Amino acid sequence: MRSLEEAVESAVAISLRDGHDSAAAAAVGGSFVIGPNMYGWLFECHGFWHNVLLIASALAFALYLAAQARKSFSKLSSGRSSIMIAYYGCLWLASLLNLTWCSLQAWECTAGKEVAWNILSLFTTSGMLFLEVSLVAFLLQGNSASGLHALTRTFVVSGLIVGLDLLLKAIYLFAFGIPLFIDDIDNPHRVKWGLWVVHRLVLTAVYGSILFMYHSRWRERLPARPAFYRYVIIMLIMNALALFACGLTGNGAGFGLW
């Protein structure tokens, strides 16, 4: 019996030592094993809770879209609005990209995956920004926002803005080597966080300007939709918080990443 216990303890010690070297963990007493890929996916990089919260929120939204898919498809089919159909397709594409990005957080800290991670992050952020810009551009057209012409005009304007943003980020990433999407708490890249501060500052200024127009003589030029007003307030707060967090992280406060 004693020799059996020693053999088990020896096996556990070897397993833990190997797990430390290869990012694998084993639990004895119940046959549950976490392999290297699963361990890195959950625990490496930003930590367990950061990854779980990201994945859970993205998955919950994707499941919500899936649960509402039949009802949404029925409304889109009966309404036959090319604008709403296009936005619904873009929403699904951006949601799936975001879910993929959240699920592959371990790529950020995996050697050899830097280029793949940067490309995935580049297209994910561009997809989210396209939704954001196109929605605001569409609603700002007011009563004239209907038909194929409005859709084309909205998508062209949004595509130009997002295309310019994507081009600048690609230049920063691949020409100047600025790690826009790779975070290092111990060595914050001031130039990178300075660029993110400018990015968030522009978005905050845009939403702040729209909110200012609601309380000025130009109010009539904005859509008379309370939902749009609430959306602008929410996005203004979120971008202001992101701006504050980027400023903190750029000055060495690691908790700003959260």
> Same structural domain for residues 27 and 96?
no
CA–CA gap between residue 242 and residue 210 (Å, rounded): 19
CA–CA gap between residue 211 and residue 240 (Å, rounded): 13
List, for residues 191-227, the tens digit of each pLDDT value: 898 999 999 999 999 999 988 988 888 887 777 778 8
> Same structural domain for residues 137 and 67?
yes
Listed range (73-82, 141-150, 238-247) with the worst mean pLDDT: 141-150
For residue 254, is it within any domain?
Answer: no
* Residue type for position 129: L
Count of domains in the chain? 2
Q: Which of 144, 160, 181 is the last residue of a domain?
A: 144
> Same structural domain for residues 38 and 112?
no
The pLDDT value recorded for residue 198 is 94
Q: Which of 94, 124, 144 is the last residue of a domain?
A: 144
Quick check: 182 and 196 in contact, CB under 8 A? no
For residue 156, is it within any domain?
Answer: no
> Same structural domain for residues 15 and 105?
no
CA–CA gap between residue 168 and residue 170 (Å, rounded): 5
% residues pLDDT > 90 (the chain): 36
Written as six digits, the tokens of 139 are 């609603």
- Stretch 18-38: mean pLDDT: 43
Q: Where are the alpha helices (DSSP H) in the chain?
A: 2-22, 36-43, 48-67, 69-79, 82-103, 114-139, 147-170, 190-214, 226-250
Residue 96's nearest CA partner among 131, 72, 70, 71 is 131
> Same structural domain for residues 89 and 61?
yes
> Same structural domain for residues 51 and 139?
yes
CA–CA gap between residue 41 and residue 212 (Å, rounded): 44
For residue 202, is it within any domain?
Answer: no
For residue 93, is it within any domain?
Answer: yes
> Same structural domain for residues 21 and 67?
no
At residue 189 the predicted structure's pLDDT band, cuts being 50, 70 and 90, is confident
Read out DSSP for 150-200? Answer: HHHHHHHHHHHHHHHHHHHHHIIIIIS---TT---SSS--HHHHHHHHHHH
For residue 250, is it within any domain?
Answer: no
- Stretch 77-102: mean pLDDT: 86
Written as six digits, the tokens of 208 are 């702040």
List, for residues 40-68, the tens digit of each pLDDT value: 566 667 778 888 888 999 999 999 999 99
Q: Is the pLDDT of residue 13 over 50?
A: no
> Same structural domain for residues 37 and 102?
no
Q: Which domain holds residue 4?
A: 1-43
Q: Is the pLDDT of residue 86 over 50?
A: yes
The pLDDT value recorded for residue 41 is 60
For residue 181, is it within any domain?
Answer: no
> Same structural domain for residues 20 and 50?
no
> Same structural domain for residues 52 and 30?
no
> Same structural domain for residues 56 and 2?
no
CA–CA gap between residue 201 and residue 205 (Å, rounded): 6
Q: Which of 94, 127, 144 is the last residue of a domain?
A: 144
The pLDDT value recorded for residue 258 is 52
- Stretch 177-193: mean pLDDT: 81
DSSP, res 140: T
For residue 210, is it within any domain?
Answer: no
Whole-model pTM: value is 0.77
> Same structural domain for residues 30 and 97?
no
For residue 112, is it within any domain?
Answer: yes
